[in-house]
Amino acid sequence: MLLHLAHPFQHLELLSLLLLWVLFLFGGFLFGKTDAERIRRMPTWTRLASSGTLLLAAWSCSLFTQDTPLSTFSLLIAIGMTLGCLGDLLLAELVPLPQPVLGGMAAFGLGHIAYIVALLLVGNLQHLTAPAARLGAWSAWLLIGLLGWYFLVFRSHTPTPLHWAALPYALLLASTAGFATGLALQDSTFLLLALGTALFLLSDLILAAQLFNNLHFPLIGDVIWLTYGPGQMFIVYTLGRALLLG
């Protein structure tokens, strides 16, 4: 999967964007002020800026891999990250919607469809199609997603349409983790990608417990972002790392 970057400035751009991401996400946590509800320290603008930085990195990788065998893969990752940023805006209620949670789930869900298609395509391209790894990992993560939805979303409440909508969403995120794990079992290049998708699912399960089961502990909002943000970074920089090391 390794490719060479054509120009030195491309190395500099990807590394600079990674550094900016670190400053926005972790700097926001370290230097922010705890809010009145003790949910988070990170200001909204640093959280969204960290996502925007990863968005730039994703589209940079897509641009850098044009006319290469990985062009479709990198384009789909960039599209998935774009939809993720839209989901961030919706959940931050910066886009007026009557149901921001449902809108955010829809945006993230579409983003994960793009991720899944990217994973299947790159698996076929790299001949990483062993049924035991691909289907076994997918089945295992589907079970994890189903159990997470049942215990954290469904069991403790009278189901509403939003509770039921969370089921296919959880299974979609679990599918992304499953297919990424299937790749990682066959090629260590994809280990960070698998870790990223697992962190994304973990973040979503914590968020679901907060939204649907009123889970609360100090700085829960920051814990969600400190799992979600690195998860997205590992997804984007799976290709970025390959380019930098190529």
At residue 242, the pLDDT reads 58
**pTM of the predicted structure, to 2 decimals:** 0.93
- Which tops the pLDDT comparison, 240 or 116? 116
The residue among 228, 233, 137 whose CA lies nearest residue 187 is 137
3-state secondary structure of 34: coil
Averaged pLDDT for residues 143-172: 87
DSSP 218: T
Answer whether residue 4 shows pLDDT above 70: no
Distance CA 217, CA 39 (A): 8
The number of residues in the chain equals 246
Q: How far apart are CA 4 and CA 88, in angstroms?
A: 32
Under a CB-based contact definition with an 8 Å cutoff, are residues 213 and 153 in contact?
A: yes
Alpha-carbon torsion, ordered 103, 107, 112, 118, to 10 deg: 160
Burial of 142 (0-12, 13-18, 19+ CB in 10 A): middle
Whether the CB-CB separation of 109 and 169 falls below 8 Å is answered with: yes
Chain CA centroid to CA 56, Å: 15
**Residue of 205, 192, 174 lying closest to 231 (CA atoms):** 192
Predicted pLDDT of residue 213? 81
Is pLDDT of 194 > 90? yes
Rounded Cα gap, residues 115 and 208, in angstroms? 21
Residue ranges in the chain assigned as alpha helix (H): 8-31, 44-64, 71-91, 100-125, 131-149, 161-186, 191-213, 220-245
- Map out the domains of the chain as residue ranges: 8-245
**How sure is the predictor about 78, in pLDDT bands with cuts at 50, 70 and 90?**
very high
Cα distance between residue 173 and residue 105, in whole Å: 11
Q: Would residue 205 be called left, alpha or beta, if left means φ above 0 and alpha means ψ between -120 and 50 degrees?
A: alpha
**If DSSP codes are grouped into helix, strand and coil, which group holds residue 150?**
helix
Q: Which residue has the higher pLDDT, 14 or 140?
A: 140
Which of 116, 106, 107 is closest to 76 using CA atoms?
116
Give the per-residue pLDDT at 241: 64
